[in-house]
Every structure is written in structure tokens, then in C-alpha cells.
């Protein structure tokens, strides 16, 4: 088969047929343009995520002086570390999270979801298309992360533009303009969080930044300021990008499968399994890279020391060896071994929070409406790695 063109509009619109063709050919294949191996099947992608000989090895973007802040927030990020540094940092972050932050926020998240859904319904009134992305999907997770971190309400509109600019650096074929925008956003974000952390040291509260500032482990170890700043940025970028895109991709999928939407509306106990299925069906993160620290055999090929291999999460989540009728949406699918939250030591630390947000979003939509219909053509983001929509016009009837 011809090599995958990750930038082709047709592939970005729907990569799954190409994934199916590739999976049938070989579980792991070399991509010359990207200069890395791609793992297409569930077994091989899962192995890529779990094999300790395949690490997240951060190398500063060059020239280093041009990407000073972007490099800083990745060099100190738990996502870019391996044990023992990863173990230490994850232990400290988990200790701060363990203070009940997710459950503390659950009623607040559910109330916010209801308010946002009511606003959309009121503006739509059963006739007028409204954008679900800007009106709810983007609003809720950013507000939740900001509330979790203790970012003042007046500063919250700064967060998503910073995050959007930074995550565009993870795509292939970037322009110089995209890179400059990412570095500028990283510098502004770092400066903002340094000020916030300093303020919380003087005036601690019940927010996560206050707990990250104060947390120590049994040996008295604590986060450095760079680690604290980086952790907050990672929580926002990873913590809201995925949720926004599962919300948009998921509602679009339900609207394309009205029988499944009706099934969920009639049986709300399916909501937890439906959220897992929406994550599987159209994965918000499509590709996750690792680097071999020694020669590793995966899927019948050898990844040489220093070579990169990427797990294609969207392809793995449609593997017929694991999922019956994988191209069908089934809101009651169980078991559901999707790997959208990753696997192994880098399993998403924010998965419980994401599930709370997604269940609140779809629960509120169903509670506050009698009908949801497509109100126009959805516009997809032009990137492949972070898969999501730019707009999703819907008509909502109370």
C-alpha cells in the first residue's frame, strides 16, 4: 500500500479506512517521511506503550534559544520522563490529586454542564443552529481545569489560546509561524504560572496549585518550581484538549448514529460505557511516540536503539482482533479495551477527571433536550495527531 500521508485532507477527515488496510498488511511498518515505525494493531500499539525499553526521551527543539520556554515545559514534564524521575514526579502529583480534588469538583462540574446546556438550548430554541464546540465542549473543561488549579475567573480566557498554540507543535509539517506562536504562548504561560505559584506560597488555598506548592513525599522531596509550572501546563493542555475533542467527536458520532443516540437517551445507565465507546470510536489523540533505549522486537520487526516508534491509538482502537464490529458505534460496548488514555506508566493521570467531565457534558445534553440534530456541516481541525472538530453546529430542542 502507498505510505500514509498524514497531512492529506482526505486522510485527516477519515483515517480509519487507511488504518484498516495497513493493519491487514503488517502490524508494524516503517514510514520513510516521518523517519519512524508505526504500530497499527492493538497488541503492538499496547506493547509500544508498555515496554520499558521504549521510553519518552525528550530532546530540546533546536535552536534551543529559539524554543527556550517550549523546551522548559517539556524537559520538566512527567509525560516526557522515564523512571526514576517519572516515578518521583508522578508520586508527588498523585499525592496532590489524592486530596479529593476530582470528587470535590463533581457537583460543580455537573452544575456548570447544566448551565452551558441550558444556554445552548435557549439560543437554539429548536430552530437556530448553535456551535456545540464554542458553546459547551470548549467552555467546560477549561473552566474545570482553571477551577482545579485555582486560576482566577478573570484570567481564564487566556488559557485555551495558550494551549491551542502549544499543542500545534506536536503536528508534522509545522510552519515557522506555528513554531513562533507556540514559543510565545509557552513563555507567557510560564510567566503567568510562576506568578500564580508565588501568590499561592504566600496565600495557600484548597486548589491544586496550593497543594502542588506544598506537597512533599515521605523522603521530604518536593516539586521544583519548573516542575510545578510544567505540571500545571500539562494538566491544562492534556486535560482539556482530549476532553474537548472527545465531546465534539463523540456528539458528531452520535448524530451520525441516531439509533445509538436514542438508545442512550432512553437508558441513561449506559452513559459510562457510552463515554468509553466515544473515546474508542474516534480517538482524540491519534499518535504517541516512543524511542528505543536498546534494540526491541515488536510485531516481527526490530526497532533499533535510538529509533522512534509510534503507537497509532485510533488504529489500535479499531482492531477487529480485539473489538467486535470495530467500525460500529455501540454505546453499550463491554468490555472495551480502548487505549485512548494510554497504558503503562504513562497512563493518563487525569483520566478520572476527564470521565467526570464527559459524563456531565453528555448527561446534561440529554437531560436538557428532547432532540439534538445536526445544524450544518461540521468543520474538522486540519491536524492529524490531535484529532478534533473546529465547529459542530447543532439544533437543540428543549
3-class DSSP assignment, residue 2: coil
d(C-alpha 335, C-alpha 324), whole Å:
10
Mean pLDDT for 279-295 is 95
pLDDT over 60 (residue 1)? no
pLDDT tens readout for residues 177-224: 999 999 999 999 999 999 998 999 888 888 888 888 887 655 567 888
pLDDT over 90 (residue 18)? yes
What number of other Cβ atoms are within 10 A of residue 58's Cβ? Answer: 16
pLDDT over 70 (residue 99)? no
**Which domains are assigned to the chain?**
9-397 (1.10.630.10)
Mean pLDDT for 263-270 is 97
Burial of 362 per CB tally in 10 Å (0-12, 13-18, 19+): buried
Helix locations, 137-289, DSSP H? 139-149, 159-167, 176-202, 208-214, 225-256, 258-266, 271-281
pTM: 0.89
d(C-alpha 383, C-alpha 360), whole Å:
27
Report the side by side order of strands in the sheet with 130-131.
Answer: 130-131, 393-397, 371-374
Q: Closest by alpha carbon to 288, among 18, 55, 20?
A: 55
Radius of gyration of the chain from its Cα atoms, rounded to whole angstroms: 21
pLDDT tens readout for residues 327-367: 999 999 999 999 999 888 778 888 888 999 999 999 999 99
pLDDT tens readout for residues 100-132: 777 788 899 999 999 999 999 999 999 999 999
**What's the pLDDT score for residue 86?**
82
**What's the pLDDT score for residue 127?**
94
Amino acid at each position: 500500500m502507498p505510505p500514509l500521508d498524514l497531512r492529506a485532507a482526505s486522510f485527516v477527515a477519515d483515517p480509519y479506512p487507511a488504518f484498516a488496510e495497513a493493519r491487514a498488511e503488517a502490524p508494524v511498518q516503517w514510514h520513510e517521511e516521518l523517519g519512524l515505525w508505526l504500530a497499527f494493531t492493538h497488541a503492538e500499539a499496547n506493547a509500544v506503550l508498555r515496554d520499558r525499553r521504549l521510553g519518552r526521551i525528550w530532546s530540546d527543539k533546536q535552536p534551543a534559544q529559539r524554543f527556550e520556554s517550549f523546551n522548559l515545559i517539556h524537559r520538566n514534564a512527567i509525560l516526557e520522563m522515564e523512571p526514576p524521575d517519572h516515578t518521583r514526579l508522578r508520586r508527588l502529583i498523585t499525592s496532590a490529586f489524592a486530596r479529593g480534588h476530582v470528587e470535590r469538583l463533581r457537583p460543580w462540574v455537573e452544575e456548570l454542564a447544566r448551565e452551558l446546556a441550558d444556554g445552548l438550548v435557549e439560543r437554539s430554541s429548536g430552530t437556530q443552529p448553535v456551535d456545540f464546540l464554542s458553546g459547551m465542549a470548549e467552555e467546560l473543561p477549561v473552566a474545570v481545569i482553571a477551577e482545579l488549579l485555582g486560576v482566577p475567573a478573570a484570567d481564564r480566557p487566556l488559557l485555551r489560546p495558550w494551549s491551542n498554540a502549544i499543542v500545534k507543535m506536536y503536528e508534522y509539517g509545522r510552519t515557522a509561524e506555528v513554531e513562533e506562536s507556540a514559543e510565545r504562548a509557552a513563555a507567557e504561560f510560564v510567566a503567568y504560572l510562576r506568578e500564580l505559584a508565588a501568590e499561592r506560597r504566600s496565600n495557600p488555598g484548597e486548589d491544586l496549585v496550593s497543594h502542588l506548592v506544598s506537597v512533599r513525599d515521605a523522603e521530604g522531596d518536593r516539586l521544583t518550581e519548573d516542575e510545578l509550572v510544567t505540571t500545571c501546563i500539562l494538566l491544562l493542555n492534556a486535560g482539556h484538549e482530549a476532553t474537548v475533542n472527545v465531546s465534539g467527536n463523540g456528539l458528531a458520532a452520535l448524530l451520525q448514529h441516531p439509533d445509538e443516540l436514542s438508545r442512550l437517551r432512553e437508558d441513561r445507565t449506559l452513559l459510562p460505557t457510552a463515554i468509553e465507546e466515544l473515546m474508542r470510536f474516534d480517538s482524540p489523540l491519534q499518535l504517541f511516540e516512543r524511542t528505543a533505549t536498546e534494540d526491541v522486537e515488536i510485531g516481527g520487526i526490530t526497532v533499533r536503539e535510538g529509533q522512534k516508534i509510534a503507537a497509532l491509538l485510533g488504529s489500535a482502537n479499531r482492531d477487529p482482533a480485539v473489538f467486535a464490529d470495530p467500525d460500529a458505534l455501540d454505546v453499550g460496548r463491554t468490555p472495551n479495551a480502548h487505549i485512548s488514555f494510554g497504558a503503562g506508566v504513562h497512563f493518563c493521570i487525569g483520566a478520572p477527571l476527564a470521565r467526570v467531565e464527559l459524563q456531565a457534558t453528555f448527561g446534561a445534553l440529554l437531560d436538557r433536550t428532547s432532540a439534538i440534530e445536526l445544524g450544518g456541516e461540521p468543520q474538522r481541525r486540519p491536524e492529524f495527531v490531535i484529532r478534533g472538530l473546529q465547529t459542530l453546529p447543532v439544533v437543540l430542542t428543549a
